[in-house]
Amino acid sequence: MANGLRLSLMEQLRISQRDIEARQALFHLSASDCDLLAGSKDIIVRNLDAIVDRFYQEQTENREVALLIGDRETLFRLKQAQRHYIVDLFSGVYDASYVNSRLRVGKVHKRIGVTPMLYMAAVHSLIALLNEYLERGIPDRALLQATRRSLLKLMMFDVELIFETYIASMMSEVESARQEVEIYADGLAEEVAERTRQLEELSKRDALTGLYNQRAFFDALRLAIATAERSHTPLSVAYMDLNGFKPVNDRHGHVKGDEVLQKVAQLIAASFREGDVVARYGGDEFCAIMPNASTDEARSACERLVTVADREDLCGVTIAVGISELTPGSLISLEDLLCNADKAMYQAKEKSHQTPTIRGLPSSQIQCAS
């Protein structure tokens, strides 16, 4: 029992990342479905309070449900949890964190006595409500139908996870007999997962600089945005471009240019925090994702970078930086977040061209999005 308390529900139920992907494939929940749901998020968020209020008004009309809820304080907590869940439904990211949250709901429902019949009735009501508001907000009928289908796939994926907890509770008495075999299987699975992780890590890296490549950057940014929205923490993105890089290639050749890019990549990797994600976006452009960092914190890291780069022999190359921030509750899209940083970077380039950089004063090379 003590060992079980140290494990997440996913770990207790032996659900791996590969299992999650297999289950999503079983329900035909694809990347395009995730994009459709994420694209409808603003519609749902604008109507979130109305959806939750109507949902619980319908639920509490059932005497059995009303008795399970019991009091106003419990109802308030349930409404708050439902708000978070509905926002998560339209996050577009359904990873291990999402799966764990659904498994916890199943465990709570089992504990307080919510029957499968009551749960399925609630799911039916929620789907109907969400479809109603989607219909109001999506005038394109084809897009509306596609979004509804995506929502149904995800809800069925969720239902399967909920009932996974029910089944696990009924089968708990046989766990001890399986533990010895599962320990061996877990060790083998971890070894295979580690080898797979190493191969996946190589595929995410830029061959020249060793930083993450553009594909890995976008994967990390999508996850970072979903995590920031779920945890209500800030997120900053820095977009970096090299001033004067083209003349290096023209005068000294591409070998020298590659050396400059590698040196800049080393400086970037050393200037940001251990938990930040730094990537070569393409050519002489670089990006950094800074979870749980405000604009001021991101600017401090970028000033360190620009100051250190100014002291290095980079053949006259300097770094222009644009910073944008996702603040809690802002609901800005990935594209807008990156676009804002890109625009700020071009403003920094223009500013640095108008006012030549003075050593020790890197601020002219850094611009924050307004």
SS3 of residue 293 by DSSP: coil
For 105-118, what is each residue's pLDDT tens digit?
776 766 677 777 88
3-state helix, strand, coil in the chain (%, to 5): 70, 10, 20
Has residue 303 got a pLDDT over 80?
yes
At 335, the pLDDT band (50, 70, 90 cuts) reads: very high
For 28-78, what is each residue's pLDDT tens digit?
999 999 999 999 999 999 999 999 999 989 988 888 888 888 888 888 888
For 173-214, what is each residue's pLDDT tens digit?
456 556 666 776 777 778 877 887 777 777 889 989 999 999
Has residue 322 got a pLDDT over 80?
yes
How many other β-carbons are positioned within 10 Å of the β-carbon of residue 50? 11
Continuous segment of H or E residues that includes residue 121: helix 116-137
SS3 of residue 361 by DSSP: strand
- pLDDT (0 to 100) of residue 1: 44
Mean pLDDT of the region 243-258: 90
Contact (CB, 8 A) for 229 and 87: yes
- pLDDT (0 to 100) of residue 360: 43
For 14-23, what is each residue's pLDDT tens digit?
888 898 899 9
Contact (CB, 8 A) for 157 and 34: no
- pLDDT (0 to 100) of residue 258: 93
| 237 CB-contact burial (10 Å; exposed 0-12 / middle 13-18 / buried 19+) | buried
Task: Look at 327 and 202; give whichever has higher pLDDT.
Answer: 327
Helix residue spans in 61-95 (DSSP H): 63-69, 72-89
SS3 of residue 314 by DSSP: coil
At 2, the pLDDT band (50, 70, 90 cuts) reads: very low
User: Percent of the chain scored above 90 by pLDDT?
Assistant: 53
Average pLDDT of every residue of the chain: 86
Q: Which residue, among 248, 224, 258, has the nearest Cα to 238 in the 3D structure?
A: 224
Predicted TM-score of the model (pTM): 0.47
Mean pLDDT of the region 230-256: 92
Non-local CB neighbours of 321 within 8 Å, separated by 6+ positions:
238, 239, 240, 302, 305, 306, 345, 348, 365, 366, 367
For 68-105, what is each residue's pLDDT tens digit?
888 888 888 888 988 999 999 999 999 988 888 888 77
- pLDDT (0 to 100) of residue 9: 77
- pLDDT (0 to 100) of residue 174: 54
Mean pLDDT of the region 148-152: 95
- pLDDT (0 to 100) of residue 173: 44
